[in-house]
Every structure is written in C-alpha cells, then in structure tokens.
Chains A and B, each alone.
Chain A
C-alpha cells in the first residue's frame, strides 16, 4: 500500500518523541524532589513551612503563651498571647526567621523530631494534612515575667530571674521589647527603632560590671587569707581611672574603713589597696573561676538579626576570660576591658547562694507530641559548675544578706548588692540578689538598668521582682 512505510516511520518517530517526554517527566518526578525542590526559589517550600502547625508554648504553670492559628486558606500564623514574654520566647516569622525559645526548640515545635512512619506518610503525603509540631512547656513563669516587665517598664535594660538550686529561668526581660504579633507589619519600623528592641540585653548585652567586682575582690581576699577586717586609711578617697572617677558616700566623716565596710558602702579605695597588696596573678586566678567574662550562651537562643548593641552594652570591647597573667586595676574595679552579661551575673549570684556551685540555666521542662495528652518531662539533670569554694560563697552570701538586713521579713532570707558602672559618658546600675525560703531554695536575680545612676531604684525593682518570683513559685519550692 502506498505511503505505508512512511506512515510507519512517522509513527515510530512520534512515539520516540513521546518516550523522550516520558523519560524527562520521570526524571523530574523521581529525581527532582531531591534537587530542584530544595532550591530557595521554590515557593512550595514556603507554603510547606507556612502550613506547619507549630506546637504551642506553655509556661511552667500551664498558661498558654503562644499558639498557631490557621485561617480558611490553610495559612498558619503565630499568635503570642502575652507580648511581655517576647524577650524569652522570641518570635516566629516565615519571612524573618525565628529567635529565642522559638528558635531553641524549633525542631520540637515543627515536629521534625517526630517519627516518620506509615501513618505519618498517609496523613501528610497522601491526605496532605498539615504537619503538627509538639507542644512545649518552659520554665518561664508568666506572672513573674509580667511583674518584672511591669517593674522595669519605664527603663531600658535587662533582668533575669532563676530558681535555685535548679537553675530554672523564671523570667527573662530585655527592654525595650516588641509585640511579636505585629512583627511582620512593623518590621522596618522596629529595625530602625533607636532602642534596638531585637537586641537581647540579657543574653547578648555585654556591660561593664563596675562595682559588682567588689564581690569578686572580696572572694579574692578571702582566698588569699586577707581578713575582711583589714583596715584601710583614706578609704573614701576617689579613684581616677582614665576619665572615670570612682568614689563613694559614707554616713560619717571617717576615712578609715575595713574591707567589709568598704564593700557595703561601695568604696573603691580599699580595694585598690587590696589589688596592690595581692599578686595580680592570684587575683586573676581567683576571678577566672567565676567565668565572669564568658557570656553564657543559652543553646539555640539565637536571633537571625545581627542587631547592634547600645552604647551601654559595649560589645565592641572584646570580653576575654581572665588570662593567667596579672589583671589591670581597671579590670579589677570593673571599668576595664572586662565585660559581662546579666545572665552570667545571675549565675554567679546563684552560685554564691548554692554553696559555690553555679547551676546551668534551664528553660525547658517538658514536651507533648501532637494529639496526645501526656507530657514527656525533660531529664532533670541540673548540672552545676563550681565557681568558688563553700567558704567563700558562704561569706559572700553573708555579706549580701548584711546589705539587705532591713528587708528581711516573713522568714525569708534576702541578700543583694547594688552597683554602679560607667560606660563612656553613660552609667548603668546593677542589682544582683536572692530571696530564699528557710529550706534554702529560692530565687536569684540579676538586673541592669541602662542610663541610670539610681542605686535605690535598681535595688527596689530587684527586691520587688524577687518578692513576686518567690511568691509565685513558693508552692513548688516547699519540697526539697
């Protein structure tokens, strides 16, 4: 028949073309998911991420702090019920990433740690139901957090409250703060905000310790068998360190003070004599145990934003652990190259209270897989790091209690120390303190207020916050 051969060849040619199409389609369907689907420009990744039902976040008492809300189009957004918790919880944004606890426990909240079994495959890949993450319960106490924010609300600074001896973080506040519910809409405005609200002053802020160093100098004196009753004449003389003048006010005109008295009044001069008396290396060795210059990094509590610190939090100065070499007078008085973070100071305070052993801060209590009712508690390990001896810790605790003797009430043990530090032309005030039940368990605080020289204010805020914290956790602290 005419044309038959040509028709057959045409058919074969067209079928060959379709086979090529089939092979190409197979390649992209089978190999493609491992390659091109992982590209950043794949909007489906964004959709998949946007459809994940992140787990809820609860505080230690079961208060719901953050949840995921799904609209009718399946788009999931994050809702924070208490914006005051931002400093601790961070934010979650499809566009701008995660920070804080949202970042630290991202794997749990996204459900990445859940097993991928046949049931999961059927629900997620066949029925295309959104992935659900696990709920988490943190050590944070909503009431303590809110109280601390309320007490600090007119100021810029940082505050952190831990329970002792567990090291559980009850409150973590950095001001100014933001409302994470409006983060996406106000992003540009917030980034340009002069207060740097994205900068977490508790975790990232590196500040001059100022006269907080007197606590460490006391520890150095004790460890070098220098009695605290050692007198120093002309003890109230001002000390000039570069452009900074350190001085103190005494209730009487006397110029002779013991170390203990100088500590209580915050007079630097006797401590200058102490530094001159002690070998610089001995002081450095004593200081190094406190790990003052090493910022404690809460695992996972990162921010995708490289926010610039304020002038007060001068992280441009590299903070270095104490070397084995002799320290300078400036460092010893807290006005040198050495900086510290509020969290590190809180750990030092906790170590003083806990017989010289600083607890490792804990933020996580338990998780709950989706569609279950049982909480899976985290292992209660509570590791500690020795920062000083029992004897030194006990004496420091006694000194701090002596500072707060007029505030003792209701069978609580209260101690604390207020300090002033200079950063260029600005000053900040510190307060570290503790409040314990008769059983020895309690709470500690490290508080810093930028651009302030009001020691009474920082002390008042610190004590009120401790009072609130102890009241809030009193029930759980009764049992040893």
Chain B
C-alpha cells in the first residue's frame, strides 16, 4: 500500500512540476533537481523502512512525503530562490527521520536522558538571546535563529520535540499519583503535592518565558496547549483543559494590553477590513486568495498569491487555496486529519507503556495544533500566530523536526506492531 501511495504522490508532484516548467519556460528544467531528490528520498526511505521497520504504520511516510513534495512545488512556484534550500533540507530531514526511526534505542534515549535533552534545548534557546539572528538580516525582527555560513536553525523547533519527550517521560512516571490524588481528593482541594507538579511547571515556565522574551508567541501558545493536553491525557481531568483555556483567555487579555504585536493581531482578527491596506493587508490578501481560488483553483502558477507577504512560509495554505482551490484546501486538511488519526491510533495501541503513549500523543498533538493554529489564522478563525504549516511551509528547521517526529511515530508504530 505504501508503494501505491508514494506512486500517487509522485504523480501529483510530477505533474505540478511539469506544469510549472511549462508556465515558466525560462527556468528550464531546474525543477527536475527538486523532483529528483524527492523521488530519491521517497524510494530510499521506503526501502530502508521496509527493511528495518516492516511492521510500521504504512500511511505516515507517504503522507508526509506527499505534503513535503507539494510544499516543494509551492515554494518553487512562490519563491524559487528558496527552493534549492528547501530541497536540501528535505534530504537532510528524511535522513534524520530514517536515523531516528531505525535506531532501536531512540525512544529509550529520549526517556532516559530527558534532563540532558532539556538542558541542551534550553541552552540552545537561551543562546538565541545572545547569538540569535534572523535569516532575512533585517533588524527589529525576532532573532530566533542560530546560524553560520548561510545555514540557519531555529532552536525552538527542536525544543518542541524535547519538551514533549520531557513531559511525556515525566508524566508517564507521575500519572498514577496524579490520577489517584487529583485536584480534589476526599475533602482536600488541590491536595496534589508540589513535588509532583513543581518540576514540570518550572520547566514549562522557563521555556515559556524564554519564548516570550524572544517574541515567539505562537510557539509559546503551542507549548502551553501541548502541556495542557498532555496533562489532561495523563490525569484524565477535563477541569485541566477548562482552566487552561481560562488561563489562555486571561493571558491573552494581559498580552493584548502589554504587547503591541498581540494587540495588532487581535485587532485585525476581529475586523481586518478597515485596515485592509495597512496592518491587515496580509490577512485580507489571504482571504482574497481563498476567494480567488474558488472550488477548482486558478492552477499552479496562474493565481496571484504573491500579493500575500511571506506567502511561502506562514501563508502557504492561502497559496494552496488560490491555486488548487477548495479541493486543494480539503486535501491538505484531510491529509493532516489522517496524520492525526494515525498518530493517535499509534498512541492508543501502546498498551501498558505510558511514556510511548504520551510521546505519541504529544508529537501528534504538536502537528495537529500547529496546523490548526496557522490554518485558523490565515482563515481568520483564530488570530494569526507566527507558526508554519508542517511539511508544506518553507522552513528548514520546521521540516527537519517534523520529519523527526514522524520518525519517532514510525518507531513507535513498528515496535507496537
């Protein structure tokens, strides 16, 4: 089945690259390098996985290869000068995925050395305060990357996986206590020992503070949501979700009054039309892209998604909507929904191994929530946040960590099967 799905994905991507070549004859067949590398990654990846993880989930790899290949065509269409870079990152990411998937001790290492990983992650994040840069080179923009010689990496992306692993391992040990003690045990409210909640709250708070310091509010919200969900899954208390949402509202209200960027994003979310030419330009253009795409889309290279600033990154979903129409949007949503379903299925099948279950839940939730946040943002369902659409957006660090997550899920699925 995986072979068939990869063939279908390859055909779709190949046709789009061919169409792009016809539309832009001046570029010649430079797209063939990207497509060639994609084919190589698909073939090699499939072969290695067949040999080393024959009992893995058969949908995950074709899904992410399909989305990442589609992302390559979009980036080549929207920002050709970034296409080569993204292609290289795809190769690196698939390699990292395979490494993570085939090494038998990966899951064990994540669990056993959680403090080491967390320290490394926090160290990298802290280092952006002093050594951070922005690939655009513009001043005044968030300095969230570490880079040299033209190669940039965003530590917050790595911290996503590290934090999930850390939380999963910690909650896997403590969840029996959390479930028996709970927030209300007998006549005692909040009787849970700080010894249990303290370390994870501290670790989580530290990461949130650094992220806010660095003005990466989207990732901060994502971390908080993942933390909430993992805590909910571990404890089974719906109260946690509700109180967490309340905290989000309070924090949002506070941030609105403290941070101009938050105020901006909420204002244009509520009513973008009066400032369509100004602060809400990006959002309005995104909505117009959806409208322009209609049901069947304008066709690759035939629309005008270029009016959307930074369309190849945060707003790639809008570009898909304009050129592949509602059908394209539905395809993306269905792909991510299938990914979520498969990931949570893997989690549910990890019987008697809470760390693996929570790890799978956390990784899947990361992908799902991140996708919801950015798709909701470009569609004005939610305020905009500065996160990318996994596998489709331009961004090497995001692509790398997303593939590593898939590698971990494949590892988990194979071991379970």
Q: Do A and B bind each other?
A: yes
Q: Which A positions have Cβ atoms within 8 angstroms of B? A: 1-8, 10-11, 14-15, 17-18, 20-22, 24-26, 28-30, 32-33, 35-37, 39, 41-44, 47, 126, 128
State which of B299, B333, B368 has its C-beta within 8 Å of the C-beta of A22: B333
B25 to chain A, nearest CB (A): 10
Tell me if B298 and A128 are in contact (CB < 8 A). yes
Q: Which residue on A lies nearest to B367, using beta carbons? A: A14
Chain A residues within an 8 Å CB radius of B380 = 24
Question: Given A21-B372, A39-B276, A43-B307 in contact, is the A28-B284 Cβ separation under 8 Å?
Answer: no
- Alpha-carbon separation in the docked complex, A453 to B211 (Å): 83
Chain A residues within an 8 Å CB radius of B277 = 41
Stretch at the interface among B6-14, B74-82, B131-139, B324-332: B324-332
Chain A residues within an 8 Å CB radius of B299 = 128
Chain A CB within 10 A, most for which of B287, B361, B380: B287
Chain A CB within 10 A, most for which of B288, B302, B347, B369: B288
Stretch at the interface among B90-98, B120-128, B189-197, B335-343: B335-343
B203 to chain A, nearest CB (A): 22
Chain B contact-residue range equals: 35 or more
Tell me if B381 and A20 are in contact (CB < 8 A). yes
| Interface status of B60 (Cβ within 8 A of chain A) | no
Tell me if A11 and B344 are in contact (CB < 8 A). yes
Besides A24-B379, A28-B291, A29-B321, 6 other A-B contacts (C-beta < 8 A): A4-B348, A11-B344, A20-B376, A24-B381, A30-B294, A32-B288
Chain A CB within 10 A, most for which of B290, B329, B341: B290
| Interface status of B214 (Cβ within 8 A of chain A) | no
State which of B229, B232, B325, B357 has its C-beta within 8 Å of the C-beta of A2: B357
B22-63 contact mask (Cβ, 8 Å, vs A): 1 or 0:
000000000000000000000000000000000000000000
Q: Which B positions have Cβ atoms within 8 angstroms of A? A: 229, 232-234, 236, 276-277, 284-285, 287-288, 290-296, 298-299, 302, 304, 307, 321, 325-326, 329-330, 333, 336-337, 340-341, 344, 347-348, 351-352, 354, 357-358, 361, 365, 368-369, 372, 375-376, 379-381
Chain B CB within 10 A, most for which of A8, A10, A32, A128: A10
Tell me if A7 and B347 are in contact (CB < 8 A). yes
- 29 contacting pairs across A/B (C-beta < 8 A): A2-B352, A3-B234, A3-B236, A4-B348, A5-B236, A7-B344, A10-B229, A10-B233, A11-B341, A14-B337, A14-B369, A14-B372, A15-B337, A17-B368, A21-B375, A22-B330, A25-B326, A25-B379, A29-B290, A33-B294, A36-B284, A36-B287, A36-B291, A41-B276, A41-B284, A44-B292, A47-B304, A126-B296, A128-B302
Question: Given A18-B337, A37-B291 in contact, is the A25-B329 Cβ separation under 8 Å?
Answer: yes
B345 to chain A, nearest CB (A): 9
Chain B residues within an 8 Å CB radius of A33 = 291-292, 294
